[in-house]
Amino acid sequence: MKSLALLGAVALISSSASASFTGWSVTSTTTGGRDVYSVYANFSLSTDVVLNVFDFGKAVASPSGNQIASGRSGVMNAVHNDNMQGDLDIDGDGNIDIYNSLGSWEASNGTQSALQALTDSYVTMQGINLSWGTAMDPSFTPSYGTSASDIPTNAGWYDATPGTANTVGATLKVKLMQIARVAGQTEAFTANMTMGYKAGGTTTALFGFGSFTIPAPGAIALLGLAGLVGRRRRA
């Protein structure tokens, strides 16, 4: 397995005294004929609790509220490897490139095994473990089939079984999605999103927002984060 670390720098545009979200980071592995990207939210406090992700790829005229103006660019080209199966024509030439792999964005032990998850695209609030339970909001409908090659604009997800698994913990990061592509695809994809979280032992919602980029594999100039990252407290 070939591993590429794509850790990014953070451009901070606003903060509050108790906010501890420090930005997104992206790591990449190449396995099973796929380049697999994991997107993480990073924190400075291990006791923070992740609540939800929303407004994926939403663009606004100015960076007000929880969003930033960039929205999204490029094509995600995600492929799946869960139990909602079908055949996929990647290049549109009428020939099947990936068999039994239309899949969905679900990350649960009802649709995929831990082995399948290594080369699957999914959204998550707690990574892959025995407590899979991420739920997708109605913006994902339909969440499977050919439309599942991308996350719909304005879509969001949350943990249907919140608990200790949503605590940031000693690693100071939480995995929020995995995007698998057919190995060797070079088009960069950038999107912004907003994450809700709270400090441990509190009920005040905090929000982190910014953009991440899936770069062309091996392109050093594209490593890391794209756009702006911010954090603020909702009054």
pLDDT of residue 222: 33
Pairing relationship of beta strands 134-136 and 2-6 according to DSSP bridges: unpaired
pLDDT of residue 30: 93
Would residue 228 count as lying in a domain?
no
Low-confidence ranges of the chain (pLDDT < 50): 1-18, 130, 218-231, 233-235
pLDDT of residue 147: 72
Would residue 210 count as lying in a domain?
no
* Residue 34: how many other CB atoms lie within 10 Å: 23
| Residues in contact with 95: Cβ distance below 8 Å, sequence separation at least 6, in sequence order | 89
Would residue 184 count as lying in a domain?
yes
pLDDT of residue 5: 34
pLDDT of residue 112: 77
Would residue 216 count as lying in a domain?
no
Domain count, the chain: 1
pLDDT of residue 132: 67
Would residue 36 count as lying in a domain?
yes
Would residue 171 count as lying in a domain?
yes
| Residues in contact with 115: Cβ distance below 8 Å, sequence separation at least 6, in sequence order | none
Whether 32 and 180 have beta carbons less than 8 Å apart is answered as no
pLDDT of residue 82: 80
Question: Distances from the Cα of 132 to the Cαs of 31, 126, 128, 217, in angstroms?
Answer: 22, 7, 6, 29
Query: What is the value of pTM for the model shown?
Result: 0.77
List 174's β-bridge partners, or say none.
41
Would residue 19 count as lying in a domain?
no
pLDDT of residue 210: 86
Residue ranges making up the domain that contains 45:
1-6+25-56+70-193
* Residue 161: how many other CB atoms lie within 10 Å: 13
pLDDT of residue 113: 79
Would residue 207 count as lying in a domain?
no
